[in-house]
Amino acid sequence: MITGGAGFIGSNLAIKLVELEANVTIIDSFIPEYGGNLFNLEPIKNEVKLNISDVRDEHSMKYLIKDQDYLLNLAGQTSHIDSMNDPYADLEINAKAQLSILEACKRYNPTIKIVFASTRQIYGKPQYLPVDESHPLYPVDVNGINKMAGEWYHIVYNDVYKIRSVVLRLTNTYGPRMRVKDARQTFLGIWIKNVIEGNKISVFGDGKQIRDFNYVDDVVNAILLSAQSDNVNGMIFNLGADDPINLQDTAKLMIEISDKASYELVPFPAERKVIDIGNYYADYKKIKSKLGWQPKESLKDGLKLTIDFYKKYHKYYWDS
């Protein structure tokens, strides 16, 4: 079962699992501001069970969780700005619903194995680089606080009730099926749209902020490795990349690939500046040593695959 399975990472995960002949049930609420998109499931629409429900609905979750072997728990409110404008919705989805999912597992399916998608956002502004799992947690926004609670509920239920759970702290993930019609999910989304339409990309500040990016197939692989291994239950892992890059160079790379568009440096919008984390890239040695995970796709190749996907299918992702 994949919560958030019609969203970006969840749908790519579902496609991979169908390829591996798993029986897949998808739970998604399709709240329009989030990343769920029916077209994401087009290649597997006849091969998965899709249940349109909200993880905040304790009654449906109790029923759905029964008889599942794995819960790949990806449903979330992902917008940092939205978490500041509507902190209670973020709290309900990213924290409270996680607790009720775990309660449902404890009661109705205690042998289930869970992988939870957490985020690098919970570290806040890095105190050193690269950021490893021992780095202090100091979220800079409400989303970071609630995701932190969400991941720690999983660890506590693993340790106290033996509900086997693994937590992955994802970094910026990109690839086909991400929300690109606006910058709600990530700035990369709107950049992709602008590049394809031949518009200017806006890079905030001096463009020197460093990030690490994972192509979605690499993240799917990390989720599957974590699900399969019982040696890592109760553990928290960073994902990361070998080729951190600043935002200005990322913009240049996208323009080079698309052979269209241009970029400009623009002042940081005030509401983004206050929650910006500066430079970030992760140390992912722990997951490499425990599970042998390592990202395979380079940023250049991954961006090319992504841009090609949206060139072909953009009408399913934005009106133009």
Ligand X SMILES: NC(=O)c1ccc[n+]([C@@H]2O[C@H](COP(=O)([O-])OP(=O)(O)OC[C@H]3O[C@@H](n4cnc5c(N)ncnc54)[C@H](O)[C@@H]3O)[C@@H](O)[C@H]2O)c1
Cβ closer to ligand X: 200 or 245?
A: 245
Contact status: 211 vs ligand X (CB under 6 A): no
> Shortest gap between Cβ of 14 and ligand X (angstroms)?
11
CA distances from 141 to 48, 158, 175, 272, 273 (A): 35, 26, 25, 10, 12
CA 129 to chain centre: 21
* 23-62 binders of ligand X (CB under 6 A): 27-31, 34-36, 54-56
> From the CB of residue 51, how many other CB atoms can be counted at a distance below 10 Å?
15
Cβ closer to ligand X: 6 or 24?
A: 6
Contact status: 9 vs ligand X (CB under 6 A): yes
Contact 142, 85 (CB under 8 A): no
Contact 235, 290 (CB under 8 A): yes
Burial (0-12, 13-18, 19+ Cβ within 10 Å), 296: exposed
* Burial 98-134, CB ≥16 within 10 A → b, else e: bbbbbbbbeebbeebbbbbbbbbbbbbebeeebbebe
Q: Candidates 68-76, 228-236, 240-248, 280-288 — which segment interacts with ligand X by CB under 6 A?
A: 68-76
Cβ closer to ligand X: 260 or 298?
A: 298
What is the pattern of x (binds ligand X, CB under 6 A) and - over residues 95-124?
----------------------x-x-----
> Shortest gap between Cβ of 93 and ligand X (angstroms)?
4
Size of the chain, expressed as the number of residues it contains: 320
In this structure, what are the phi and psi dihedrals at residue 141, rounded to the nearest 5 degrees? -145, 170
The single residue listed with the structure tokens 């506590």 is 156
Member of 1, 7, 71, 175 binding ligand X (CB under 6 A):
7
Cβ closer to ligand X: 113 or 169?
A: 169
Contact status: 226 vs ligand X (CB under 6 A): no
Contact status: 306 vs ligand X (CB under 6 A): no
**Residues in contact with ligand X by the rule CB under 6 A:** 3-4, 6-10, 27-31, 34-36, 54-56, 74-78, 93, 117, 119, 170, 172-173, 179, 185-186
